[in-house]
Homo-oligomer: A and B are copies of this chain.
Amino acid sequence: MNRRNALISTGLFPLSMSIWRQAEEMAINIPEGLKILFQGDSITDAGRNRGSYYANDGWGMGNGYVSFAVKQLLGTMPEKGLKCYNRGISGHKVHQLANRWEDDCLNLRPDVMSILIGVNDYWHTLTHGYTGDLKTYRTDLDALLKRTKDELPDMKLIILEPFVLKKGTAIKESDWLPMFDEFRMASKDLAQNFGAEFVPYQSMFDAALSKADTAYWCPDGVHPSMAGAHLMAQGWLEAFSRLNF
């Protein structure tokens, strides 16, 4: 097999002429007009222009995993009329999501919601005098998800594991571990309780560290690089592909 055939067979560089066929296979069972909401903190926000809040607006998707995942969805399923929204806001913890939940989730009535929250629920106890703890995080997130499911019972949920890379420039390992592991576990427990798809970002990043260092994937330990955003998008797309419509 020559190199070009190898590239094509991996599917990472699909031949443009075959995109339509692939998209048709991929889109089986995905309902038309599906509304997908990305919720979270700075990792989701990724510098989006908050004034660009309409569905599928590139300026409103930021510069991270959401932008990559949404380009992939819209680029490969043009006939589905998908509507994608990014409502991540930098610095937010669960209780701050709850404060804006009517505008930034319930009123949008998403068919799929993806949520990545938790790193600030721990970090801000170190840096901002935040007095919430693990129990606060778990209780607040449980309540938020319950409120959402009560209002939108048919919504599919994707919970993204919060993560930290311990050699990041903003991270002092002894300040974070093992305490932060409990926050990760809480997000996983809640994913199970709510029947959500779960994306294990911590183990994905840990595995990636055998290929390149923290500076390559996530320089400060919290905010991913372009390579890290790609890794996150792959995990997200894989979870999305597991949803049953």
Contacts and interface: CB of A to CB of B under 8 A. Distances in A.
Interface of A: 3-4, 6-16, 19-20, 22-23, 25-26, 28-29, 47, 56, 58-59, 61, 63-64, 67-68, 70-72, 74-76, 78-79, 204, 207-208, 211-212, 216-217, 225-231, 233-235, 237-238, 240-242
B59 A63 contact: yes
A231 B237 CA distance: 17
Contacts of A25: 6-7, 9-10
A68 B56 CA distance: 15
Residue of A10, A61, A237 ringed by the most chain B CB atoms within 10 A: A10
Contacts of A71: 68, 226-227, 229-230, 233
Majority DSSP secondary structure for residues of A touching B: helix
Given A10-B14, A16-B235, 4 more contacts: A13-B238, A58-B63, A71-B233, A78-B208
Residue of A78, A208, A211, A231 ringed by the most chain B CB atoms within 10 A: A78
A208 to B, nearest CB: 7
B6 A26 contact: yes
A195 to B, nearest CB: 17
Contact of A241 (B7, B28, B68, B207): B7
Contacts of A229: 58, 71, 75
A28 B6 contact: yes
Contacts of A12: 11, 14, 22-23, 26, 72, 76, 237
A65 to B, nearest CB: 9
